[in-house]
Amino acid sequence: MIPISGQLQFDKEKDVVFREQLTTIRYCTTINEYIIEQVVPWIAWYNRYYLITEEDYNKAKDNFEYLKEKYPEAMGSAMTLPRGETFIGSQNLRDYDGREKFTDFFTHAGNPFLGYFYDEKDHVLYAHILMYNNHFAVLPYRIIEITKKDENGNDVVDYIRPLEDLPDVILIHSTENKDGQSIPLFMAIQVDAKGNIIR
Regarding whether 182 and 106 lie in a shared domain, the answer is yes
Mean pLDDT calculated for residue range 80-102: 76
Bigger pLDDT: 24 vs 107: 24
Domain span at 46: 7-90
- The answer to whether the beta carbons of residues 1 and 126 sit under 8 Å apart is yes
55, 128, 141 from 124: Cα distances, Å: 21, 12, 10
Residue 128 lies in a domain: yes
Question: Is residue 2 one of the residues assigned to a domain?
Answer: no
What average pLDDT does this structure show over 62-67?
Answer: 91
Residue type, 34: Y
Please give the model's pTM, rounded to 2 decimal places. Answer: 0.80
Q: Rounded to the nearest 5 degrees, what angle is found at the Cα of 162, between the Cα atoms of 195 and 55?
A: 80
| For the ranges 33-42, 88-97, 133-142, the one whose mean pLDDT is highest | 33-42
Q: What letter does residue 88 receive in the DSSP assignment?
A: E
83 and 156 within one domain: no
pLDDT at 139: 84
Highest mean pLDDT among 30-34, 157-161, 168-172, 188-192: 30-34
| 39 in the same domain as 15 | yes
pLDDT, tens only, 120-156: 888 889 889 887 788 888 888 776 666 677 788 887 7
Number of domains within the chain: 2
Closest of 112, 125, 194, 109 to residue 163, by C-alpha: 125
Instruction: Give pLDDT, residue 165.
Output: 66
The residue from 74, 90, 106 where one domain ends is 90
141 in any annotated domain: yes
The kind and range of the H/E element at 16 are strand 16-18
Residues 106 and 185 in one domain: yes
d(CA 176, CA 182): 4
Q: What is the mean pLDDT of residues 156-170?
A: 64
Q: How far does the chain reach from its first CA to its final CA, in angstroms?
A: 14
CB atoms inside a 10 Å sphere around CB 84 = 16
- Residue that terminates a domain, selected from 57, 90, 123: 90
**Amino acid in the structure at residue 181:** Q
Same-domain status, 82 and 41: yes
C-alpha to C-alpha distance for 11 and 25, rounded to whole angstroms: 11
Whether residues 160 and 78 share a domain: the answer is: no
